[in-house]
Amino acid sequence: MQGLYQFASGPLAWAAFIIFFFGLACRLISMFRQVSKKESFLYEYWSWDHALYSMFRWWVIPLGSRNARFNPVMAIVTWVFHVCLIFAPILLVAHVVVLDESALGWSWPTLPEAVTDIMAFLVVIGGCYFAWRRLTLPQVKYVTSGSDFIILAIVVAPFVTGILAYHQWGDPLTWTTLHILSGELWLVAIPFTRLVHMLYAPFVRGYTGSEFQGIRHVKDY
Domains and CATH numbers, the chain: 2-215 (1.20.950)
Q: Looking at residue 41, what is its pLDDT?
A: 82
Q: What distance in Å separates the CA atoms of residue 194 and residue 1, rounded to the nearest whole number?
A: 32
Measured between alpha carbons, how far is 102 from 87 in angstroms, rounded to an integer?
21
Sign (positive or negative) of CA dihedral 4, 25, 83, 75: negative
Q: Mean pLDDT for the chain?
A: 94
pLDDT, position 114: 96
| Mean of pLDDT values over 50-77 | 94
Question: Of the given ranges (76-80, 88-92, 169-173, 189-193), which has the lowest mean pLDDT?
Answer: 169-173
For residue range 96-122, list pLDDT tens digits in order: 998 888 777 889 999 999 999 999 999
Residue 165, CB-side half-sphere exposure with 13 Å CA sphere: 18
Q: pTM for this one?
A: 0.92
pLDDT tens digits for 201-219? Answer: 999 999 999 999 999 999 9
Share of residues in the chain with pLDDT > 90 (%): 84
More confident residue, 185 or 170: 185
Residue 63 has a pLDDT of 92
Q: What distance in Å separates the CA atoms of residue 116 and residue 54, rounded to the nearest whole number?
A: 28
| 188-192 CB contacts, 8 Å cutoff, 24+ apart | 188/16, 188/19, 188/20, 188/23, 189/151, 189/154, 190/20, 190/23, 190/24, 191/19, 191/20, 191/22, 191/23, 191/24, 191/26, 191/27, 192/23
Q: What is the pLDDT of residue 43?
A: 87
